[in-house]
Amino acid sequence: MSTIGFPASSISNHPSTIANNQGLRLIANLSGMNLNSVGDTIVNVQNIKTWYPLYLIGTNASTNLTTAAITINTGANGTGDNLFTTSLVGLTSSTAVIFITNSGNLSEDIQRLYFRCTTAQGAAATADFWVYGWDLGFLS
């Protein structure tokens, strides 16, 4: 006799049930960002009033990124607060990952980020990016 068990993972004894998600969490993400053209892509911040960006993670490059670079700012065309600036040369394949820490010390309350390709790859190229951080707005 064989038994098929569903679901694959079931957790029932965890005492913590916090509905408002105050953890290190995703603030914004962009899949398949075009890295062959200098310009902005507007990305909405996910459901936070006030937040602090901590990390940028990039991966899933469509090709070996030998040239491309990006910034993430709170304003268009590289204006506002600069949260991250990085070359993407570490993204040599779809499984490579870059992990960048924000060195700033400002909280943000804007609801859009501008992911900007500042240096084009020179050939068709995309990658995925995630911004993680703290939600500081739930107390107010």
Partner 1 sequence: MPNLGPAVTITNHPQVWNINQSLRLLASLKDMNFSQIQETKVQIIDSAKWYPLYMVLSNASVNFTAIGAAISIYTGPNATGNHIFGGTPLATHTNSRIVNQINVNSGTRANTATDIFIRSDNNTGIPNATLDVFIYGFDLGFLP
Sites of contact with partner 1 (CB under 8 A): 4, 6-9, 11, 13-18, 21-26, 46-47, 50, 52, 54, 105-107, 134, 136, 139-140
Contact residues for 88 (Cβ-Cβ < 8 A; gap 6+): 35, 58, 61, 65, 68, 69, 70, 98, 127
Nearest-approach distance from CB 131 to partner 1, in angstroms: 13
Q: Closer to partner 1 at the Cβ: 1 or 18?
A: 18
3-state secondary structure of 133: strand
Nearest-approach distance from CB 109 to partner 1, in angstroms: 9
The residues facing 83 across adjacent strands are none
3-state secondary structure of 117: strand
Q: Closer to partner 1 at the Cβ: 75 or 134?
A: 134
Nearest-approach distance from CB 2 to partner 1, in angstroms: 12
